[in-house]
Amino acid sequence: MDGTPILQMEKVDTYYGSIQVLYGINVEIGQGELVCLLGGNASGKSTLLKTILGVCRPKRGTVKLEGERIDGKPIKSIVSKGVAIVPENRRIFPRLTVLENMEMGAYLRTDKDQVQRDIDEMLTLFPRLKERLHNPGITLSGGEQQMLAMARALLSKPKILLMDEPSMGLSPALVDQQFELIQNVNRQGTTIFVVEQNANMALSVADRGYVLQTGSIVLADTAQNLLHNEMMQKAYLGGST
Amino acid sequence: MRPEIAGIAWSQRQKAMGFVLIGITLVIVPHLMPNNYWLRIYGMTGIYVMLALGLNVVAGFAGLLDLAYVAFFGIGGYLFAFFSSHHFDIHLPFPLVLPLSALVTMGFGFALGAVSLRLKGDYLAIVTLAFAQIFKLLLFNLDRPVNITGGVNGIFNFDPIEIFGFKIVSPIAYSYLIWFLALVVIIGSFRIKRSRFGRGWEAIREDELAAEAMGVNTTRMKLWAFAGGAFIAGASGTLFASFQDSVFPNSFDFQQLVVIYCMVILGGMGNIVGVTLGAILLSILPEFLREYGAYRMMFYGLILIVLMALRPQGLLGEIGFLTKKMKRPDKDETGVLKASTDLYYDVDSMKAPRKAGYSIDRRPILELNNVTMNFGGLVAVDHLSLTLREREILSVIGPNGAGKTTAFNLISGIYPPTSGKVLFEGTNITGLKPHQVVEIGIARTFQNLRLFNKMSVLDNAKVSQFCRTKSGPLSILLRLPRHRTEERETEKVAKEMLSLFGARLTGYRFDQGAMFLSYANRRRLEIARAMSTNAKLLMLDEPSAGMNPQETVEITEFIKALRDIYGYTILVIEHKLNVVKTISDRVIALDYGRKIAEGSYEEVASNKQVIEAYLGRKKN
Amino acid sequence: MIHGIRTFLYPACSGNDMDFYLQQLPQQLVNGLTLGGVYALIAIGYTMVYGILSMLNFAHGEIYMIGGFVGWWVLHLLIGESGPVLHVSLVISLMLIIAMGMTGLLGIAVERFAYRPLRKAPRMNLLLSALGVSIFLQNLVLHHQGAKARFFLVSSLIPESLRLFQVGEVVFSFMRILVIVVAFLLMTGLTFMIKRTKVGKAMRATAQDIEAASFMGIDVDRMIVFVFLIGSALGGAAGTLVGLLFTQVDYYVGFQAGLKGFTAAVLGGIGNIYGAMFGGILLGLLESIATTFFPATYKDVVAFVVLILVLIFRPWGLMGEKVPEKV
């Protein structure tokens, strides 16, 4: 990795009240990488993303965006510095139109003309969205909502895009589509950090991966290595057959 | 068993002394009042105590925000006017009118409850408020064409009352009568609070769904809450009417309601001593603020705002006097606050031998026949069929969203399946309400823990005996033998179940509020509570979630013992596959609501489809 | 006795019942629209707050009432011995603007001090606090202004010739037209704002999914303040308009109006701004038409009965969506 990593988490401990959920997390993501965070239930994956975004505040450790500390800052501040998220279950605004959803993605931007150009670009990238431009979000199919959520997040021109369990609630066919989308977006230059339960799928598109188990990182390697690592099965299914 | 009042244990002798003291006080105080004005205040305070305690039943115990409560007060008052005056020329004796009004008002309480059953929180408040407004409108306007209510001036000049020959006319006589009845209400409140009714109500207040899932007939109990409050309010109204010798609409308006609510909230919702003191305080305080006129109501408004922001549990708190013990958070033997989420498990440490295979000849106890659950397009459970045999442990595994908890919800009756049947011991239980399912013998725990947080450990377990007991309000209030026997039995069962977990949930822990327990103990309590329903079949939803390896081993052994020693049949949702391996006779795997594998642990865990479901398919 | 009941229920009972009702209809429609406009303005305040915070702002009725008092005060200031100091349209505009401004600020203050500390508290606490605010405000005004009604010197404001005019069977008054027009303008302005402006869209987004809105970088707290500002201002406008229409205001009007405004919001579908507008107008019409059948003192019952029926049988209102409870 050359240059300052986009995201750095060092020795992060996060608590829910008095219960510790993350133990000494060290994560580094470089410019242009596609990194995934894997783990089973109750591993702490979501909490980790929330810590980056500012929804949770780490008790110990630091989170840095391009070298600047963002831990402890309010969500609005962190988002404005260039962190965008595609939340779990996508969370598009149900009664806003496709266009309005996208406008919300660009909420913090002040360069109106460029925003318009970017929206047009998104619409060429996702022609299906163009067809449904003035339909309310809730009328979109699962696949269309995926695209919309992605477009909305990208419109903030983020330095890093976080994705929380993109395969959740999707049928197997749509999962394929979703990860292809992620791969494409990454190829166009966006740094992406994906939290995912579906290990194989995530590793087949990612550069690197971290595996989280009950709050600690137990594996960190290139995606290829992880795919063939026996420890993966153990971490997920706990023990040999 | 030592009777407890307000969290302090009293011996029989202390209790008797207490009563004598109170009795003497009540006899002396009226004579200490400097003049008639203060005697009337004393009398009104007694009435307010009764009123507040009545509201305490419906809003304090059961947590139902009934804003029509003051209307019941009014109904009781007007009923006295109807039954004992020249208005309709009916002249019934007071010992008959009092219970009669109370009962009729109670009937209205049932009616209001029936209408408002489906409403929650804010909506319930608004609807009851609307009813109160209609009531007041009727009071004002039902004097034409037929004079029923006397309109804006109300009705006055009632018959003087007498009880067993004693004429009650002077303020002193009224004081005795009123405070005697107030004392009756206080004692009654304590009795009902520490009975299945009180526990049922408090469970509903804490978590209505969980209460229903532990066997409490929430519909009936909510009706009883409205009715109970109405009964007391009606009696208070009757007394009030006689005391004031008049009734008119403005005595029963929204302002009055706010005052009563302030009394209950100030003292601490559900806290009988607190509410009594709150009523006394807020009856007397305004007298000292008399010169401040409209400031009075402003003051009440401010009380509400400030209390809610700073001390919503009132001055004395909701759980009763919180002793130091209750405040201390749970610490395990090492002294460190144990609430970790360490879940790393090690295959080698699971040394306990597993029972071989599953018995085919045991009779089926639970059957699911092609059960499907369709949530408006989202199929959460897809034609699921399974059979569970007696004394079997069947584990259900599968990735998130596979439909496991939905299946549990279908069996326990939280919602009926879109199609398919659920059979228990041959009987069709599809579509039964959760408390009925509990009665039949199935109990469950919740994935995200739904304990009755503000209730004590022991009470949490006692709630589960609700469906195994039958005492009604009368038995409880009069402490009839049936009630006493049932209470003993309830306590016995609850303590038995709790003691299965050793020192963790027994001893001083009995009285500790559930919210103060460590995470692992809360999971244990959740199981103990389900067991206290005298269930035959237990459904445990991720019983070991959040426990460290030590605790996990323990709970695993425990679940096995439940089957081996105590004869339970168990359905478990579990993610830690080591646990599954140790306890299961059989395993089924779900994915996208469908069963994708069934068999022994070895068979299922090595099944390709299952592995794919967990780790995900490889990309095309 | 039967005759008594009959007269009670149908005060205008006579031979040509049907004709009589039909004759009344246009007048009732106008009255209904006027009332409806007012109810709609109040209802919007309730629905906006509910949409974003899922709470019933019990104190909204008192804000409406205070709006009426502020309007009265401005009018009082601007009417000298020989009539209004400024032109009629200016007087009325000032009344409205100042009333809206002050009630808007009051709404913000209430949110800041009574509701914000309770963001994470159980719903019951929030409702009780709102109740407390309502009581406090009502009695504050009672204490400050006394129990007697304040009268709007409308007669000095409007020249005789414009006060009433008749078109066919229907009697129009200047004030009724004014109320309808102002209500319509305000609602149109609001609709424009929420549909076309960035802030309006952000408000809608926040109401639909508060967490996702924060992920967009939207300052959720500021949105909430904004909602209270607008909702309260509209309520204040309604108070002033009603004061002009019925020429009086007293400390108690907030309670009744609040309940009716709430009924309208629920009728249309709580949380839905268009629903509030629709529900308000519908309720106004229903109430108006009911006065032909029932004695005037019972007309308030219409609103309460509608409220009870809707909440029991169709709590999501006419334009709302049924939301199932997730276990």
For residue range C83-132, list pLDDT tens digits in order: 777 777 888 899 999 999 999 999 999 999 999 999 888 878 888 899 89
CB-CB under 8 Å, A199 with B615: yes
Lowest mean pLDDT among A111-120, B62-71, B427-436, C169-178: C169-178
Contact list in B for residue C56 (CB cut-off 8 A) is: 122, 125-126
CA distance A6 to A3: 9
Distances (CA, A) of C243 to B87, B420, C37, C90: 41, 62, 14, 17
- Cα–Cα nearest to B399, from C211, A201, A207: A201
Please indicate, yes or no, whether residues B44 and B147 belong to a single structural domain of this protein: yes
Mean pLDDT of C196-205: 94
Between chain A and chain C, the number of residue pairs with CB atoms below 8 A apart is 59
Contact list in A for residue C215 (CB cut-off 8 A) is: 53, 75, 79, 84-85, 87, 91
- Cα–Cα nearest to B243, from B460, B529, B44: B44
CA dihedral B154, B160, B161, B167 (to 10 degrees): 150
Separation in Å, CA of A115 to nearest CA in chain B: 34
**Mutation for testing the B interface, residue in C139, C251, C255, C267 having most B CBs under 10 Å:** C139
Mean pLDDT of C156-177: 73
Give me the pLDDT at residue A230, please: 76
Residue B242: which CATH number?
Answer: 1.10.3470
Give me the pLDDT at residue B320, please: 44
CA distance B467 to B113: 21
Give me the pLDDT at residue A77, please: 93
Give the pLDDT confidence of A204-235 residue by residue, as tens digits: 999 999 998 878 898 899 988 888 887 776 66
- Put simply, the chain B residues between 399 and 418 with a CB less than 8 A from any chain C CB are 409, 414-415
- Put simply, the chain C residues between 170 and 209 with a CB less than 8 A from any chain A CB are 198, 201-202, 204-205, 208-209
Contact list in A for residue C205 (CB cut-off 8 A) is: 93, 96, 100, 104
Give me the pLDDT at residue B474, please: 92
**Helix H or strand E encompassing B421:** strand B419-424
Structure tokens at B600: 């022994």
CB-CB under 8 Å, A104 with C201: yes
Separation in Å, CA of C275 to nearest CA in chain B: 18
Please indicate, yes or no, whether residues B267 and B379 belong to a single structural domain of this protein: no
> In this structure, is residue B279 part of a structural domain?
yes
Give residue C77's pLDDT band: very low, low, confident or very high (50, 70, 90): confident
- Report the CATH fold assignment for C31-313: ABC transporter involved in vitamin B12 uptake, BtuC (1.10.3470)
The answer, for B556 touching chain A at a CB cutoff of 8 Å, is no
Q: State chain C's mean pLDDT as an integer.
A: 85
The answer, for B400 touching chain A at a CB cutoff of 8 Å, is yes
Position B320: which residue type? G
Contact list in B for residue A238 (CB cut-off 8 A) is: 345, 347, 576-578
**Mutation for testing the B interface, residue in A13, A214, A230 having most B CBs under 10 Å:** A214
Give me the pLDDT at residue C42, please: 96
Q: Name which residue leads in pLDDT, C8 or B610.
A: B610
The answer, for B605 touching chain A at a CB cutoff of 8 Å, is yes
Residue of chain C with shortest Cα separation from A81: C217
Residues of chain B with pLDDT under 70: 1-10, 290-294, 318-361, 617-620
Give residue C149's pLDDT band: very low, low, confident or very high (50, 70, 90): confident
Please indicate, yes or no, whether residues B5 and B147 belong to a single structural domain of this protein: no
Q: Say which of B119, B140, B145 has its CB closest to residue C4.
A: B145
Between chain A and chain B, the number of residue pairs with CB atoms below 8 A apart is 87
**Mutation for testing the C interface, residue in A56, A76, A98 having most C CBs under 10 Å:** A76
Contact A40, A197 (CB under 8 A): yes
Neighbours of chain C (3+ CB pairs under 8 A): A, B
Number of Cβ atoms within 10 Å of the Cβ of B474: 9
Separation in Å, CA of B600 to nearest CA in chain A: 12
The answer, for C215 touching chain A at a CB cutoff of 8 Å, is yes
The answer, for B550 touching chain C at a CB cutoff of 8 Å, is no
Residues counted in chain A: 241
> In this structure, is residue B111 part of a structural domain?
yes
Q: Say which of C198, C205, C217 has its CB closest to residue A96.
A: C205
Q: Say which of B577, B616, B619 has its CB closest to residue A238.
A: B577
Contact list in C for residue B119 (CB cut-off 8 A) is: 311-312, 315
CA distance B443 to B493: 15
**Helix H or strand E encompassing B389:** strand B378-389
Contact list in B for residue C131 (CB cut-off 8 A) is: 258, 261, 304
CB-CB under 8 Å, C202 with A93: no
CB-CB under 8 Å, A100 with C216: no
CA distance B445 to B528: 9
Residue extents of the structural domains in chain C: 31-313
Give me the pLDDT at residue B619, please: 60
Separation in Å, CA of B375 to nearest CA in chain A: 13
CB-CB under 8 Å, B519 with A19: yes
Please indicate, yes or no, whether residues B19 and B104 belong to a single structural domain of this protein: no
Lowest mean pLDDT among A19-28, B515-524, C151-160, C264-273: C151-160
Q: In total, how many domains does chain B have?
A: 3
Domain carrying residue B96: 39-321
Residue range A1-82+158-241 forms a domain whose CATH class is: alpha beta
- Cα–Cα nearest to A179, from A159, A155, A198: A198
Residue of chain B with shortest Cα separation from C259: B130
Q: Name which residue leads in pLDDT, C291 or B41.
A: B41
Neighbours of chain B (3+ CB pairs under 8 A): A, C
Contact list in A for residue C217 (CB cut-off 8 A) is: 75-76, 79-80, 107-108, 156
Residue of chain A with shortest Cα separation from B592: A171
- Cα–Cα nearest to B491, from B219, B112, B136, B199: B199
Secondary structure string (H, E, C) spanning B251-312: HHCHHHHHHHHHHHHHHCCCCHHHHHHHHHHHHHHHHHCHHHCCHHHHHHHHHHHHHHHHCC
Give me the pLDDT at residue B321, please: 42
Give me the pLDDT at residue B105, please: 97
Contact list in B for residue C137 (CB cut-off 8 A) is: 301
CA dihedral B259, B265, B269, B272 (to 10 degrees): -60
Give residue C17's pLDDT band: very low, low, confident or very high (50, 70, 90): low
Give me the pLDDT at residue C162, please: 63
Please indicate, yes or no, whether residues B596 and B616 belong to a single structural domain of this protein: yes
Query: What is the value of ipTM here, to two decimals?
Result: 0.91
What's the DSSP call for residue B349? G
Give me the pLDDT at residue B10, please: 62
Give me the pLDDT at residue B620, please: 53
- Put simply, the chain A residues between 22 and 61 with a CB less than 8 A from any chain C CB are 53
Contact list in A for residue B344 (CB cut-off 8 A) is: 213-214, 216
> In this structure, is residue B342 part of a structural domain?
no
The answer, for C2 touching chain B at a CB cutoff of 8 Å, is no
Residues of chain A with CATH 3.40.50.300: 1-82+158-241
CB-CB under 8 Å, C211 with A76: no
> In this structure, is residue B327 part of a structural domain?
no
Secondary structure string (H, E, C) spanning chain C: CHHHHHHHHCCCCCCCHHHHHHHHHHHHHHHHHHHHHHHHHHHHHHHHHHHHHCCCCCCHHHHHHHHHHHHHHHHHHHEECCEECCCHHHHHHHHHHHHHHHHHHHHHHHHHHHHHHHCCCCHHHHHHHHHHHHHHHHHHHHHHHCCCCEECCHHHHCCHHHHEEEECCEEEEHHHHHHHHHHHHHHHHHHHHHHHCHHHHHHHHHHHCHHHHHHCCCCHHHHHHHHHHHHHHHHHHHHHHHHHHHCEECCCHHHHHHHHHHHHHHHHCCCCHHHHHHHHHHHHHHHHHHCCCCCHHHHHHHHHHHHHHHHHHCCCCCCCCCCCCCC
Give me the pLDDT at residue A133, please: 92
Give residue C6's pLDDT band: very low, low, confident or very high (50, 70, 90): very low
Q: Say which of A168, A172, A236 has its CB closest to residue B614.
A: A236
Q: Say which of C202, C209, C215 has its CB closest to residue A79.
A: C215
CB-CB under 8 Å, B123 with C132: no
Q: Name which residue leads in pLDDT, C281 or B616.
A: C281
Give me the pLDDT at residue C153, please: 78
Terminal Cα-to-Cα distance of chain C (whole angstroms) = 54
Q: Say which of C211, C216, C219 has its CB closest to residue A104.
A: C216
Give the Cα-Cα-Cα angle B355, B360, B361 (nearest 5 degrees).
Answer: 115
Q: Say which of B118, B297, B312 has its CB closest to residue C312.
A: B118
Contact C317, C270 (CB under 8 A): yes
Q: Say which of A21, A201, A213 has its CB closest to residue B616.
A: A201
Give me the pLDDT at residue C8, please: 47
Give me the pLDDT at residue B220, please: 95
Burial of residue A189 (CB within 10 Å: 0-12, 13-18, 19+) is exposed
Burial of residue B369 (CB within 10 Å: 0-12, 13-18, 19+) is middle
Give me the pLDDT at residue C4, please: 47
